[in-house]
Amino acid sequence: MSEALWIKDPLAILADGAEGGLVVKDGQIVELVGKGEKPKTDAKPFEAGEHVVLPGLINTHHHFYQTLTRALPAALDRELFPWLKALYPVWAKLTPEALDAAVTVAMAELMLSGCTTTTDHHYVYPKGLEDGVDIEVAAAKRLGLRVLLTRGSMNLSERDGGLPPDSVVQDEDTILADSERVVSRFHERGEAAMVQVALAPCSPFSVTTSLMRATADLAAKLGVRLHTHLAETQDENAFCQELYGCRPLDYLEDCGWLNDRVWLAHGIHFSAEEMPRLAKGGVSISHCACSNQVLASGGCPVCDLEATGVAVGIGVDGSASNDGSNLMQEVRAAFLVQRARYGVAKVSHKDALRWATRGSAACVGRPELGEIAAGKRADLALFKLDELRFSGHGDPIAALVLCGAHRADRVMVDGRWTVEDGAIPGLDLDALMRRHQSAARRLQG
C-alpha cells in the first residue's frame, strides 16, 4: 500500500465538487475534496494552488514511426493517396533502432502535452521489424505511459490491387500468428492495466477481406479491441465502390466489424443513414482534426455523431500528417474546427476537453479512465498558467484551450508522476533528439 496523496486546493479543476482537490491512493482516485474541506483519508498534501487539474488526456489515434518523416518534401501538399504513395518507400526502410527512437519521441511529446494514455497504430512491417510491438511495449514501460498498442497490418499490395508496395506488407498467416503472440505476451486485463493490445488492419485499400474477417474473429476470441481507418476520404469511397461495389461502412459490416470492440480513425464521410448504424453497433470514432485539415480530407461531423449516440474521442494521428504529437494542441484544433462547423451554442471548450477525456476513454474501452471521480484511475494532467500566452486570463480552464496550452507542468499516470516540472524524469531529450534526427536522416536519405 502506498501513501495517499492530496492534490490540494487547485487553481481550477475539471470535476464537480472537487474545489479542494482530490486524494490518490494505490493508483486510484479515492476521494474528491469539497471547497474549504479537508480529506477524510490521511494524505500527504501536494500544493496545487498554481495548477489547473484535468483528467489525463487520451490519444486515440497515432502512428509513432511517422515522427521520422515529418514535413517530408516529397509528401508535402498532397492528399491521402498520393501522400501515402510518396511515403511508403521511405517507411519500408524502417529499422528496430529507428522505430525505438520514433516511439520514444512520440510518447515523450504526448506526455509533455498532458497525455496519460495513448494508442498507436503500427502497420508497417518491413523485413527485420517483426518485433515492432515488442519495441513499443518496452518504451512505454520505460516512460510510465499507459498504452493501447495495436498490432496493425497490411497484406493487400500493389500486385493485388492495393495501395502499398510489396516491401511493406506481410501475409495473412504471419499477421494472425503475430497478433495472437503479442496479445498473449503483453495484453493486461483489469482497471489498472498499463499495457493493452488491440488488432488493427490498416484500411480497406491495404488489407484483404479475408484478413479483415479473420482479424475480427481473432479479436472476439482473444477479447481485445479492433481498430482501423475508415471514411477518411472521397478517394476511399471510390476505391470501395470500385473494388467491393459498396460504401466503406457496408464493407465494414460485411466483414463483421459493426460491434462495440471497434473504434475507427477519422469517420468523416458517413451519411445520415450510416450514423445510427454506428451507434447501434457501439462503434466509436477518433476525431483527428489537424490531420484532416492538413490532408484536406474533410471534416468529421462530431456533433451529429454524438447526437446519434456515437462516442467521439480525439487523436493526433501520425506525425507525418499532423505533423505534431501535442495532444493539448489537438484539443484546441478540434475545438476550433468543430466550433466553426457547428457554432457557439453547440461547441464549447469543455466539449473539446470532454472528447479528449471521456470520449477518448470510450474509444479505448476504458470507462475507468478519462474522468476525475472517486473510483477512477489516478491519471491527471496539471497545467500552470505562468506563460506569456496566459497573461490576463479569466477562466483558467477555458484559458488552456483558448490561449493554446501546449505543455503540462505535471502529469500523473496510475498514481505515479511521469512528468515533473515540465520534464520527464530520467529522459535526456537532447540525446533523444540527436538519435532520432540521425535515424530520420538515414531513412529519408
The site for Zn ion (CB under 5 A) is made up of 317
Least Å distance, CB 329 to Zn ion, is 17
Of 54 and 295, which has the nearer Cβ to Zn ion? 295
Of 147 and 405, which has the nearer Cβ to Zn ion? 147
Least Å distance, CB 179 to Zn ion, is 19
Cis preceding linkage at 323, omega within 30: yes
Least Å distance, CB 285 to Zn ion, is 13
Least Å distance, CB 421 to Zn ion, is 33
Of 10 and 318, which has the nearer Cβ to Zn ion? 318
Least Å distance, CB 252 to Zn ion, is 16
Least Å distance, CB 284 to Zn ion, is 15
Burial grade of 104 (CB within 10 A; 0-12, 13-18, 19 or more): buried
**If DSSP states are collapsed to H, E and C, what string results for the chain?**
CCCCEEEECCCEECCCCCCCEEEEECCEEEEEECCCCCCCCCCEEEECCCEEEEECEEECCCCHHHHHHCCCHHHCCCCHHHHHHHHHHHHCCCCHHHHHHHHHHHHHHHHHCCEEEEEEEECCCCCCCCCHHHHHHHHHHHHCCEEEEEEEECCCCHHHCCCCCHHHCCCHHHHHHHHHHHHHHHCCCCCCCCEEEEEEECCCCCCCHHHHHHHHHHHHHHCCCEEEEECCCHHHHHHHHHHHCCCHHHHHHHCCCCCCCEEEEECCCCCCCCHHHHHHHCCEEEECHHHHHHCCCCCCCHHHHHHHCCCEEECCCCCCCCCCCCHHHHHHHHHHHHHHHHCCCCCCHHHHHHHHHHHHHHHCCCCCCCCCCCCCECCEEEEECCCHHHCCCCCHHHHHHHCCCCCCCEEEECCEEEEECCECCCCCHHHHHHHHHHHHHHHHC
Residue nearest to Zn ion (CB): 317
- Residue 7 sits at φ, ψ, to 5 deg, of -75, 100
Least Å distance, CB 330 to Zn ion, is 13
Least Å distance, CB 229 to Zn ion, is 5
Of 136 and 317, which has the nearer Cβ to Zn ion? 317
Of 317 and 379, which has the nearer Cβ to Zn ion? 317
Of 99 and 413, which has the nearer Cβ to Zn ion? 99
| Residue 380, C-beta contacts closer than 8 angstroms, at least 6 positions apart | 7, 53, 54, 55, 56, 116, 372, 410, 411, 412
Strand, coil or helix: what is 331? helix
Bridge partners of residue 266, in order along the sequence: 230
Of 144 and 267, which has the nearer Cβ to Zn ion? 267
Least Å distance, CB 323 to Zn ion, is 13
Least Å distance, CB 224 to Zn ion, is 19
Of 212 and 405, which has the nearer Cβ to Zn ion? 212
First to last CA, the chain: 52
Of 9 and 317, which has the nearer Cβ to Zn ion? 317
Of 317 and 323, which has the nearer Cβ to Zn ion? 317
Of 55 and 359, which has the nearer Cβ to Zn ion? 359
Of 306 and 317, which has the nearer Cβ to Zn ion? 317
Least Å distance, CB 428 to Zn ion, is 29
Q: Are 123 and 138 spatial neighbours (Cβ–Cβ below 8 Å)?
A: no
Least Å distance, CB 167 to Zn ion, is 20
